[in-house]
Amino acid sequence: PIQYAPRPKWARAAAPYLYFLFYRAPAVWRRPPVHAYLLAPLDDLTPAEQEQQLRATNDSVIKLNHVVHHGGVGHHVQNWHAYRAASRIGQIAAVDTASRIALYCGGTMAEGWSCYATRLMQEAGFLTPLEAYAEQLARARMAARAVVDVRLHQGRMTLDEASAYYVQHSGMSQSASRAEAVKNSMFPGAAIIYLMGTDMIVDLREELKKRQGDAFALGSFHDKFLAYGSIPVALIRDAMLAEVSSEKESSHVE
């Protein structure tokens, strides 16, 4: 279960500049009976700021970001499977622990799956035309974040240039673009895992479709994929493709 609660006061000022996420999922050995979903309260804002915040948190954002990406099909479902993974690393690497952000052990899985989930909802016809458009804008923003992540940490882009790049290429406001650039500068490699992870999952799905033909089942693919827990998608790809190859060899022997 998920409990919606206000973000603690000590975290409110710094949250836009950090990876202080809405969805909190402590590691399996300290797992609470209810998971906290922390929302930005309006109490400390002026009426104009409250209006701006509410307009930014529209139905599309609630559905795509808060329900699908974080609190529903995305992180919450992925962590449910991760808690039950055979691998100890797979159990903890994408939950609310230091290894999730500092080491990115399961970054391509955690963020890749959650972004893949919104794409999946579009493929399934779950989104309205405007929501589908918002999903495409989100993908463009992911691409911009990947570019900034690489250039910033190669010394090819300053914070000011990163902020300007976001305004020009992803439609962010000046304040949001600055906060994003600062966050990127503090966590190298964190921004690119969203796009990389999503594309790697789609590529794996299509490769398995090609190899398995009529035997491919989307639900089975998702269950097997998530069962590995929070480890890099590249490792899961190797394991799943090897399993398919082994099954084919066994069938030929028989």
Cα distance between the two ends of the chain: 46
Q: DSSP characters for 93-117?
A: TTSSSHIIIII-TTHHHHHHHHHHH
**pLDDT value of position 10:** 82
**pLDDT value of position 23:** 76
**pLDDT value of position 146:** 97
What predicted TM-score, i.e. pTM, was given to this entire model?
Answer: 0.88
**pLDDT value of position 154:** 97
Domain span at 28? 2-253
**pLDDT value of position 112:** 94
- More confident call, 164 vs 8: 164
What digits encode the pLDDT tens for the residues 61-112? 999 998 999 888 998 899 889 889 998 888 876 655 544 544 556 789 989 9
In the chain, pLDDT over 90 holds for what percent of residues?
Answer: 54
What digits encode the pLDDT tens for the residues 43-61? 888 999 889 888 888 889 9
Kindly tell me the number of DSSP H helices and DSSP E strands found in the chain. Answer: 13, 2
**pLDDT value of position 99:** 43
- The CA angle 50-111-2, to the nearest 5 degrees, is 60
Which three-class secondary structure state does DSSP give residue 90?
helix
Cα–Cα distance for residue pair 40/5, rounded to 1 Å: 9
Is the pLDDT reported for residue 135 higher than 70? yes
What digits encode the pLDDT tens for the residues 170-223? 989 898 899 999 989 988 888 999 999 999 999 999 999 999 999 999 999 999
Number of domains in the chain: 1
Is the pLDDT reported for residue 1 higher than 70? yes
